[in-house]
Chains A and B, each alone.
Chain A
């Protein structure tokens, strides 16, 4: 039952960049919908403006508790953004939150007959492969990366969602797969990698990369929350740039290492920080995984920032930070 201008919106993962910024953006409008925050922690920054409900998605009975809340509050749209931005070494918890948490949210939506479900996803799920076409469409299979546990968990979550959708025709589902995000305030492991003054990269590889600006990302989620956009969409900035050009634009130096050496040198730091061997991250700087954005642009409007502009916005904000 697609409806417009929902009265009540539930957002999971208010602690993440995406959840918080989406709530703030929705609240900017005078006639904003009632916002219910679902999560384990009270979002103190938005205290008094949203209705907080304490739910832990990793608990075994989270689905029935969620269904109760959704029915109680009369929620019409659920936005699921409770995903980790960066991989962590806590592999079990990661699986519980990303895959099982999504399962709980889906089942609760079905039980409470929620009209619309918006799920955050990533174009990283397509996986970096030497045999990828230059532009991956939304219909391309999600192959992930075998050594990136965070990506694999989300691939599984999307697989569960794809099975769930035809069984629940009453709920329309919008999946937004976004590429790496750049902007003045966004922060994750990719941003921290690019923040280094000397950036390690693979000798002999110079893949094309694409970014989306944080404002364009939040805009797409806002559109998907407020109006009916069923389907899967890639949310990416326009244009692509090779990694070496990005570094030259930022005035950073590249440390070019042969892949066997880099994968051995970076093994311990990577394993302890992300729980994955280096290939889980550096393969994304080795092979192509650029996604085609046309379908998303037609649905949510052209992005304001191109890949280059998103990158420049990130670089200039960090440059300013040095002078504070």
Chain B
């Protein structure tokens, strides 16, 4: 029984003495081992091997998240209640930055007037058919304001129900312009950007540029009074030249459900290429907020007060537009 393990057994084959031959091979062996290690490192994630440990919980969480949104590269599995998609926003960020910094070279004036937090209603002049102005103002505030909150911009009915436009606008933060939506946004603490000129503003022909039209029927002022949030006038200089509308063509537009077809120097002559806005120089001017909280929500019933405030708001936006136009030496710079 003990024969096999007996060390002094004569029949045990002696271990060959190769000691003298190993010495010169050691470096070669080391080099081979190093090569093997490198190969292993290259095959697995280098970072994980470098750190020496893998965060299994994090890896599992990541996989779990991936599996629940399989096949969802360009969107997230959760949107906010008005349909804004974080992933689409993140992916669109670069394009928005390009438009903001390089294409329109947007500058802001009076950002210090936006101090403080809490919901507020921003009211701006509207121009152009597609809501570039809303996107750019929202982008400016998100970038430059301390709170980093992205205001939600309101979009006219006919635009947000247009096929192909609606899915993208909703994901980029556009909301249909109506009292219920504005109330809900303000009550949940969002900043809201409204363009009460509406269709009349979008349909401004070139020679009427920077003339602020009637601000609806005072709905913005009433909304601000009821929710007791300040009204902030905003003048956007630039977009009114980005799509210079020469005249409006109504008959063919009615056929596809649009209120009018804008005829610009490039559209519809150049086809879809004509939809590109011109690279004008933009200035966004923010005015002093008009406080509404001391008036109280019952002031919304006072028709004369509402129309007086609406007219004051219109005047302030117009003077902000003049400020912006004075700041700008020419349309292009």
- B71 to A245, Cβ gap below 8 A? no
Chain B residues within an 8 Å CB radius of A73: none
Whole-angstrom distance from the CB of B194 to the nearest CB of chain A? 15
Q: Which residue of A lies closest to B165 (CB)?
A: A204
Roughly how many angstroms separate A241 CA and B167 CA in the complex, as a whole number? 11
- B181 to A242, Cβ gap below 8 A? no
- A287 to B161, Cβ gap below 8 A? yes
Chain B residues within an 8 Å CB radius of A287: 161
The interface stretch among A79-87, A126-134, A268-276 is A126-134
- A133 to B176, Cβ gap below 8 A? yes
Whole-angstrom distance from the CB of A237 to the nearest CB of chain B? 12
Q: Which residue of B lies closest to A288 (CB)?
A: B176
Roughly how many angstroms separate A203 CA and B82 CA in the complex, as a whole number? 21
The contact string, 1 if C-beta is below 8 Å from chain A, for chain B 17-44, is: 0000000000000000000000000000
Q: Which residue of B lies closest to A202 (CB)?
A: B163
- A240 to B71, Cβ gap below 8 A? no
A93 in the interface, Cβ–Cβ < 8 Å?
Answer: no
B278 in the interface, Cβ–Cβ < 8 Å?
Answer: no
The interface stretch among B72-80, B97-105, B269-277 is B72-80
- CB within 8 Å of B: which of A270-292? 287-288
- B71 to A208, Cβ gap below 8 A? no
Q: Which one of A135, A208, A239, A251 contacts B184 once the chains associate, using CB atoms below 8 Å?
A: A135
Given contacts A242-B79, A251-B70, is CB(A134)–CB(B176) below 8 Å? yes
Chain A residues within an 8 Å CB radius of B161: 130, 287
- B180 to A135, Cβ gap below 8 A? yes
Q: Which residue of A lies closest to B73 (CB)?
A: A248
- A242 to B83, Cβ gap below 8 A? yes
- B167 to A240, Cβ gap below 8 A? no
B157 in the interface, Cβ–Cβ < 8 Å?
Answer: yes
A297 in the interface, Cβ–Cβ < 8 Å?
Answer: no
Roughly how many angstroms separate A291 CA and B86 CA in the complex, as a whole number? 23
The contact string, 1 if C-beta is below 8 Å from chain B, for chain A 179-206, is: 0000000000000000000000011111
Contact-size category for B: 20 to 34
- A245 to B72, Cβ gap below 8 A? yes
Q: Which residue of A lies closest to B160 (CB)?
A: A130
Chain B residues within an 8 Å CB radius of A131: 157, 178
- A205 to B167, Cβ gap below 8 A? yes
Whole-angstrom distance from the CB of B159 to the nearest CB of chain A? 11
The contact string, 1 if C-beta is below 8 Å from chain B, for chain A 207-230, is: 110000000000000000000000
Whole-angstrom distance from the CB of A298 to the nearest CB of chain B? 15
Q: Which one of B77, B175, B176, B179 contacts A245 once the chains associate, using CB atoms below 8 Å?
A: B77
Roughly how many angstroms separate A62 CA and B169 CA in the complex, as a whole number? 52
Roughly how many angstroms separate A266 CA and B68 CA in the complex, as a whole number? 32
Given contacts A242-B167, A287-B161, is CB(A133)–CB(B181) below 8 Å? yes
Chain A residues within an 8 Å CB radius of B72: 245, 248-249
The contact string, 1 if C-beta is below 8 Å from chain A, for chain B 74-97, is: 011111011100000000000000
- B81 to A134, Cβ gap below 8 A? yes
B166 in the interface, Cβ–Cβ < 8 Å?
Answer: yes
B164 in the interface, Cβ–Cβ < 8 Å?
Answer: yes
B251 in the interface, Cβ–Cβ < 8 Å?
Answer: no
Whole-angstrom distance from the CB of B166 to the nearest CB of chain A? 7
Chain A residues within an 8 Å CB radius of B179: 133
Looking at B82, B167, B178, the one whose CB has the most chain A CB atoms below 10 A away is B167
Q: Residues of A within 8 Å of B, CB-based: how many?
A: 27
A50 in the interface, Cβ–Cβ < 8 Å?
Answer: no
Chain B residues within an 8 Å CB radius of A239: 78-79, 81
Chain A residues within an 8 Å CB radius of B164: 204
Given contacts A204-B163, A239-B81, A242-B170, is CB(A134)–CB(B181) below 8 Å? yes
Q: Which residue of B lies closest to A246 (CB)?
A: B77
A244 in the interface, Cβ–Cβ < 8 Å?
Answer: yes
- A244 to B70, Cβ gap below 8 A? no
Q: Which residue of B lies closest to A247 (CB)?
A: B71
- B184 to A203, Cβ gap below 8 A? no
Roughly how many angstroms separate A287 CA and B81 CA in the complex, as a whole number? 16
B147 in the interface, Cβ–Cβ < 8 Å?
Answer: no
A234 in the interface, Cβ–Cβ < 8 Å?
Answer: no
A312 in the interface, Cβ–Cβ < 8 Å?
Answer: yes
- B166 to A205, Cβ gap below 8 A? yes
Chain B residues within an 8 Å CB radius of A240: 79, 81, 83
B69 in the interface, Cβ–Cβ < 8 Å?
Answer: yes
The contact string, 1 if C-beta is below 8 Å from chain B, for chain A 153-164, is: 000000000000
A308 in the interface, Cβ–Cβ < 8 Å?
Answer: yes
- A249 to B77, Cβ gap below 8 A? yes
Roughly how many angstroms separate A130 CA and B76 CA in the complex, as a whole number? 25
Roughly how many angstroms separate A240 CA and B157 CA in the complex, as a whole number? 20
Q: Which residue of B lies closest to A137 (CB)?
A: B180
- A206 to B166, Cβ gap below 8 A? yes
- CB within 8 Å of B: which of A244-267? 244-245, 248-249, 251, 259
- A245 to B157, Cβ gap below 8 A? no
Chain A residues within an 8 Å CB radius of B79: 208, 239-242, 245
Q: Which residue of B lies closest to A208 (CB)?
A: B83
Whole-angstrom distance from the CB of B108 to the nearest CB of chain A? 29
Roughly how many angstroms separate A52 CA and B165 CA in the complex, as a whole number? 54
- A133 to B163, Cβ gap below 8 A? no
Looking at A137, A245, A287, the one whose CB has the most chain B CB atoms below 10 A away is A245
Given contacts A245-B75, A249-B69, A251-B71, is CB(A134)–CB(B82) below 8 Å? yes
Given contacts A239-B81, A242-B170, is CB(A134)–CB(B75) below 8 Å? no
6 A-B Cβ contacts within 8 A? Answer: A134-B83, A204-B163, A240-B79, A245-B72, A249-B68, A287-B161
Query: Known pairs A133-B178, A248-B72. 11 more at Cβ < 8 A?
Result: A133-B180, A203-B163, A204-B166, A205-B166, A206-B166, A206-B167, A206-B170, A242-B170, A245-B72, A249-B68, A251-B71
**Contact surface of B with A, Cβ cutoff 8 Å:** 68-72, 75-79, 81-83, 157, 161, 163-164, 166-167, 170-171, 175-176, 178-181, 184
The 6 closest A-B pairs by CB, nearest first: A204-B163, A133-B180, A206-B167, A130-B161, A204-B164, A248-B72
